[in-house]
Homo-oligomer: A and B are copies of this chain.
Amino acid sequence: MSEPLALAVDLGGTELRAAAVAPGGQILAQIDTPTDATAGPARVIDQIVALIGEVRARVPDMTFLGLGIGAPGPLDPVAGIAIAPPTLKGWRDVPLTAILSDRLAMPVMLENDANAAALGEWRFGAGRGLHSVVFVTVSTGIGGGVVADGRILHGQRGLAAEIGHMTITERGGRCFCGAIGCFEAVASGSALGWRADAATRPGDGSRLRALAGSGAVTARHVADAAREGDAQASALLAEEARWLGIGFTNLLHLYSPEAIVVGGGLSVALDLMAGGIAATIIERAMPAYRDVPVVAAALGRHAGLVGAASLVLEPGSTRIVEAA
């Protein structure tokens, strides 16, 4: 086995993960550590360099094509600059790829975390072999990445596919972004949890409150209760499926993907919502878009890591190609 590997880093505000990834997407070695997110970029970059050293030591005698990094946006994927990630204190216009390619003496490529996860699912997961894929994460918020005609869709400053903040309604509470009616504000796991919490009271005898104990009802409790057959939870999931279906219909009309791949925490309940999502799409999408499958992500929390690896394994698919 002398085929060169990729190194990959998934830089999160909580966890820093590094791996050695084979050309087929297999993770051959992985080490995770808490991100020292409040210590500033110099310290975190030291963490990355040290972690990469440890990963390399676990796969001795291998050669490496380079390092791919998934990091929180906003960032400039072409210039390789982390602009102002809100979860990393003190980061402001950090030329991450230049610094790390200097320290590690190898090519380094950068992509935002949602796009990295989209790349992972496209290259090695549920979107494998397709040409156009929309990847949506539904958890605390809603994020996503779009593969359009065989490339990640970047747009100006890499800011395309801010899926969670498309307006789809006048209902729901104010989104953290300040607007009303964002897809995320009505269809995220948080929004489902709020609806479930508001629909129940402590001690009301509901299955949801029994699962929640003394805490708030969350999307996870709704999914668990619905899977047990609880009618109230099933109704809440049906409403959630309808919101997701409305948003997904927009994504079909706007990007015309061959599949919508759903990841994030709430994707564990995708099977329970599939019928409701499909019914909403059939009701609302124009005929040519109705047959597009909505499928669960295949790689779970590894999507971003193997997607980051694909930045160096298959670099042509991720860069802006100039018009001829």
Type the 1/0 row for A168-188, where 1 means its CB is closer than 8 Å to any CB of B. Answer: 111100000111010000000
**Most chain B C-beta atoms within 10 Å of own C-beta, residue among A168, A249, A255, A284:** A255
Interface of A is mostly: loop
Given A168-B167, A171-B170, A286-B165, A151–B321 Cβ distance below 8 Å?
A: yes
Give the residue of B151, B159, B257, B320 whose beta carbon is less than 8 angstroms from that of A156: B257
Given A170-B171, A324-B317, A165–B132 Cβ distance below 8 Å?
A: no
Residue of B nearest to A286 (CB): B177
Residues of A within 8 A of B (CB): 74, 131-132, 148-151, 153-163, 165-171, 177-179, 181, 246, 249-250, 253-258, 283-284, 286, 288-289, 292, 314-317, 320-324
Contact B162 A155 (CB under 8 A): no
Contact B170 A155 (CB under 8 A): no
Not counting A159-B289, A316-B324, a sample of 20 additional A-B residue pairs whose C-beta atoms are within 8 angstroms of each other reads A74-B288, A132-B154, A148-B148, A149-B320, A150-B322, A150-B323, A153-B153, A155-B256, A155-B257, A156-B292, A157-B256, A162-B254, A163-B253, A170-B171, A178-B283, A179-B283, A250-B250, A314-B323, A314-B324, A316-B323
